[in-house]
Amino acid sequence: MTDLRIGVVGIPGKWSTEVLADALEAKTGFRCVVDMADVVLDLEARALMAGQIDLCSLDGIVVKKISQTYSPATLDRLEMLRLAEASGTKVFSSTRSILGLVNRLSCTVTLANAGIPMPATCVSESEDEALAAVLRFGSAVFKPLFSTKARGMTLMDAAEGETALRHKIAAFKADNPVMYLQKKVNLSGRDLGMVFLGGSYLGTYARVAQTNSWNTTILHGGKYEPFEPDADLIELARLAQEPFDLDFTTVDVGLTDNGPVVFEVSAFGGFKGALEGAGIDAAKLYANHVIEKVRG
C-alpha cells in the first residue's frame, strides 16, 4: 500500500471504470470514481469538487471515460480538468493529449500530417461535395465528429442513386453540419486494436464481425480474437500514436487489399478487447504505470 490518492474519471458501475479503480485501490488503498456530470468547478476557490473531494488535492487522476457519449460538451469536461493539472495533480493522459483526439477531425488531421496511411477522406459542409465524394469513392462511411463504437455512422453507396443519396446526406447533415466521410475499404470482416502503454507496444487483438454488418464493433455483434502482427504493422501503429503522447491507447488498424490503414487513435483505449482478445490485463498494467509516474 502507498499513501497516494489517485482518482478515476469514468462511468460509475461500468466494467472498464471499476476494474481500473479496483487495480488502483489494490495498490494504494484509496478509491475514488468520478462522474464528470457531478463535478463542480469553482474558479474563485480554485477547486474542482466531486462531492466532498477536491480533485485538485489528489495526486493523480486517470481519465478512463470522460462521458458516455462524445459531444462538444466532452471538451468542456476536459477543460475543467485543466484546473486540476494546473494545481499539480497529474492527469493520465494529459488533457492536452485527450483534447487532440476526442474530435475525430482533429485526430485525422494529426495522422495525415504525420504521413500515416488512412482511407480516402473528405470533409465538407457542402452537400454537393459530399455527394461527389460518394460517387467518386463508390461507397463511403459518414462519421460524426464526436462518436464512439461506430455510433451515428452511416454507410452510403453510389449504387443507391443521386436522389436517394441527396436525401440521406441531408438527413446526416441535419445532425452533423461539418460532414466527415471516408471511403469504405474492404476489411474482410476484421480490424485490429493495437495496444500501447506509455508509447510502448503491449499487444494486438482483432475485432471480427459475426453478422452482415459493415462494421466490426462489439456494439454491432463483433467479437474479440487474438492476432499476431508483424514488425512493420507494429511500427505503423507506434508511429500513429506517437504524436499524441498518450499514457494508454489503442490504435485502430484495418488490413486492406492495398495495405494497412489507420482509422483512429483512441483517447482512452479499450480494456476488454485487450483482455479478451490478447490476454493483456491492461487495467493492472496501467495502474502500475500511473503509480510510477505519480511517484516521479
**140 and 271: one domain?**
no
* pLDDT tens figures, 226-252: 999 999 999 999 999 999 999 999 999
What confidence score (pLDDT) does residue 226 get?
A: 95
Confidence of residue 30 (pLDDT cuts 50, 70, 90): very high
Say which residue, 216 or 124, is predicted with more confidence: 124
Task: Report the range of poorest mean pLDDT among 128-132, 205-209, 245-249.
Answer: 205-209
- Kindly state whether residues 110 and 247 are assigned to the same domain: yes
Q: Answer whether residue 81 is part of any domain.
A: yes
Nearest to 258 by CA among 108, 117, 148, 57: 117
pLDDT at 150: 77
80 and 208 assigned to the same domain: no
Closest CA to 175 of 144, 199, 147: 144
Percent of the chain with pLDDT over 70: 96
- Mean predicted confidence (pLDDT) in 219-226: 78
How far apart CA 273 and CA 218 sit, in angstroms, is 9
Confidence bin at 85 (pLDDT 50/70/90): very high
Helix then strand count (H, E) for the chain reads 9, 16
What is the rounded average pLDDT of the residues 199-210?
93
* Model pLDDT, residue 137: 98
Name the band, by pLDDT with cuts 50, 70 and 90, for residue 212: low
Q: Is the pLDDT of residue 213 over 80?
A: no
Q: How confident is the model at residue 222 (pLDDT cuts 50, 70, 90)?
A: confident
DSSP state of 55: G
Model confidence band, residue 215 (pLDDT cutoffs 50, 70, 90)? low
Looking at residue 131, its pLDDT comes to: 98
Residue among 146, 131, 150, 239 at smallest CA distance from 191: 150
> If you ran DSSP here, which 8-state letter would residue 220 be given?
G
Asked if 234 and 108 sit in the same domain, the reply is yes
| Cβ atoms 248, 197 nearer than 8 A | yes
86 shares a domain with 18: yes
**289 assigned to some structural domain:** no
Same-domain pairing of 107 and 234? yes
Q: What is the pLDDT of residue 147?
A: 82
| Residue ending a domain, choose from 183, 210, 227 | 183
Q: Are residues 239 and 255 in the same domain?
A: yes
Looking up cell 441531408, which residue turns up?
170
Secondary structure, 3-state, 67-105: CCCCCHHHHHHHHHHHHHHHCCCEEECCHHHHHHHHCHH
Task: Kindly state whether residues 167 and 204 are assigned to the same domain.
Answer: no
Residues 109 and 154 grouped into a single domain: no
Q: Of the residues 183, 217, 233, which one is the last residue of a structural domain?
A: 183
Q: Is the pLDDT of residue 59 over 70?
A: yes
The DSSP bridge partners found for residue 260 are 255
Q: Which CATH number belongs to the domain containing residue 211 in this structure?
A: 3.30.470.20
262-286 confidence digits (pLDDT tens): 999 999 998 999 999 999 999 999 9
Q: What are the pLDDT digits (tens) for 6-23?
A: 999 999 999 999 999 999
Can you give the pLDDT at residue 70? 78
* Domain of residue 23, residue span: 6-92
Q: How confident is the model at residue 223 (pLDDT cuts 50, 70, 90)?
A: very high
**What is the reported pTM?**
0.92
Sign of CA dihedral 210, 253, 203, 197: negative
The set of cell numbers assigned to 3 is: 499513501
Bridge partners of residue 64, in order along the sequence:
none
Give the count of domains, the chain: 3
**pLDDT at res. 221:** 57
Residues 6+ apart with CB under 8 A from 257: 186
Report the chain's mean pLDDT, rounded to a whole number. Answer: 94
Of residues 221 and 198, more confidently modeled: 198
Residue 83 has pLDDT above 60, yes or no: yes
For 135-154, the pLDDT digits (tens) are 999 999 999 999 877 789 99
Q: What pLDDT, on the 0 to 100 scale, is given for residue 273?
A: 94
